[in-house]
Amino acid sequence: MSVPKTSPVAASQPAASQRYRTLSDRSLILLFLWPTMLLLILINIFPLFYSLYLSFTDYSAIANAPPVWIGIQNYRDILSDPQLWLYFQNTGRFVLMSVTLQTLIGFGLALLLRDKFRGSGIVTTLLLIPMMLSPVVVGLFWKLLYDPNYGIFNYLLGYPAGRGPEWLGERTLAMWSVVFVDVWMWSPFVMLLCLAGLSAIPDYLYEAAAIDRARPFYQFRRITLPQVAPLLLIAVLFRTIESFKTFDLVMGLTGGGPGDATELVAVNLYRMAFSGQWNTGKSCALAYIVLVIIIGISNVYIRYLNKLKEG
């Protein structure tokens, strides 16, 4: 019995159909992809490079005059301004105090909540509420609590109305007051990431350590800390970046005062760009200096994180 032969034309039809289907799918993907890419370019990339250009110009957003190219003069003015260096010092102190306390408190809370108990889910949810609130709302809320006349904060500390310290009005207390609120708000974020790291540690590691009669501190140093370190470092990285850009919480609490005690770089950047000055070119230069600092700090964290993963 003879086997019917397939013609070359008929054999090439499925391959041609497959290629057409592949081209059609690719065109459909590009049809959805390109509008998104163009939107991202317009929203992010164009303002990024345009602000970089403005940082080398003398320009005000409310002036009718076009930008005037002045080279690196804005950067020279910023780096030679001692007052701006004071704001950088304020920001550095704020970041160091805030992130350190958030790391210790968040990691401690994660260790306490690692073992499940009755109501642990409710407790965890309640602890996460502060980070879900708007920083402006949190700032105004704590400003009322700190008020020496009718705020409840001094009352809980045992001071009569109007006799307690002015937490937001004294230079020595204002920064610590802002740090306390920031720690209250964002320690749950560190706790959440540390809980994820702690839950991923295999139980057999602790069982083997218990068989070897390892002490709790040895288990913490040799098992818990190394296993949770990558996620803990990621939490510290995120909080360092966000703390360096803190603006709305400080504006809601102190507005940068008293004097310049809580004037952070982000707050001064706002005053320079808006708030009566409208020095757009110089503010863009300051924004790029902050960006370079954040990128440098992030690279240090990332390189250390990569060493942890390789080790």
Instruction: For residues 231 and 103, state if they share a domain.
Output: yes
**Residue 63 pLDDT class (50, 70, 90 cuts):** confident
Q: How far is CA 217 from CA 114, 206, 304, in A?
A: 16, 12, 24
Mean pLDDT of the chain: 87
Q: Which domain holds residue 34?
A: 8-54
123 and 15, same structural domain? no
DSSP character for 279?
-
Tokens 């076009």, residue located: 66
Res 210: pLDDT: 85
The predicted model scores a pTM of 0.85
- Same domain, yes or no, for 49 and 167? no
How many independent structural domains does the chain possess?
2
* 92 and 198 in a common domain: yes
Q: What is the CATH number of the domain that holds 107?
A: 1.10.3720.10
For residues 148 and 271, membership in a common domain is answered with yes
Digit-coded pLDDT (tens) for 203-212 = 888 888 888 8
The whole-number pLDDT of residue 187 equals 95
SS (H, E, C) 201-253: CCHHHHHHHHHCCCCHHHHHHHHHHHHHHHHHHHHHHHHHHHHHCCCHHHHHH
18 and 109 in one domain?
Answer: no
Look at residue 93 and tell me whether its pLDDT is greater than 70. Answer: yes
Q: Are 194 and 232 in contact (CB under 8 A)?
A: yes
- Report yes or no on 238 lying in a domain: yes
Verify that 127 and 259 share a domain, yes or no. Answer: yes
**pLDDT for res 11:** 47
Q: Is the pLDDT of residue 142 over 80?
A: yes
Helices (H) and strands (E) in the chain, counts: 14, 2
Same domain, 112 and 242: yes
Q: Tens digit of pLDDT for each residue in 264-288?
A: 999 999 999 988 789 999 999 999 9
66 contacts 147 by C-beta, under 8 angstroms: no
Residue identified by tokens 């990024």 is 48
